[in-house]
């Protein structure tokens, strides 16, 4: 029973991270296409480590798959 609840919670976390990835990526694209924004803002966009969020999402997905195998 406990594994099932953990899997459900992890699925919700994965969904949230997936949505966040899409929103962040779209926002970064929109900002990078703007021509009249300060250089520091454009530099800030490039300094965001998007791969850390994707990595976390992948780790959650791997754990979720393991847990689903136990159910």
Q: What confidence tens digit (pLDDT) does each residue in 22-41 have?
A: 999 999 899 889 989 898 98
Closest CA to 33 of 45, 17, 20: 45
Place of tokens 């953990």: 6
pLDDT-based confidence at 69, cuts 50/70/90? Answer: confident
Question: Does pLDDT of 71 surpass 80?
Answer: no
Contacts with 21 (C-beta within 8 Å, 6 or more apart), sequence order: 50, 53, 54, 57
Question: Does pLDDT of 17 surpass 90?
Answer: yes
pLDDT attached to residue 47: 87
Question: What domains does the chain contain, in order, with CATH numbers?
Answer: 2-70 (1.10.287)
Question: Does pLDDT of 55 surpass 80?
Answer: yes
pLDDT attached to residue 18: 96
């Amino acid at each position: 029973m406990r594994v099932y609840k953990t899997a459900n919670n992890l699925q919700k976390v994965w969904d949230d991270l997936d949505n966040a990835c899409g929103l962040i990526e779209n926002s970064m694209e929109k900002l990078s296409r703007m021509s009249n924004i300060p250089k520091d803002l454009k530099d800030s966009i490039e300094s965001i480590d998007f791969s850390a969020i994707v990595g976390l999402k992948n780790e959650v997905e791997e754990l979720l798959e393991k847990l689903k195998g136990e159910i």
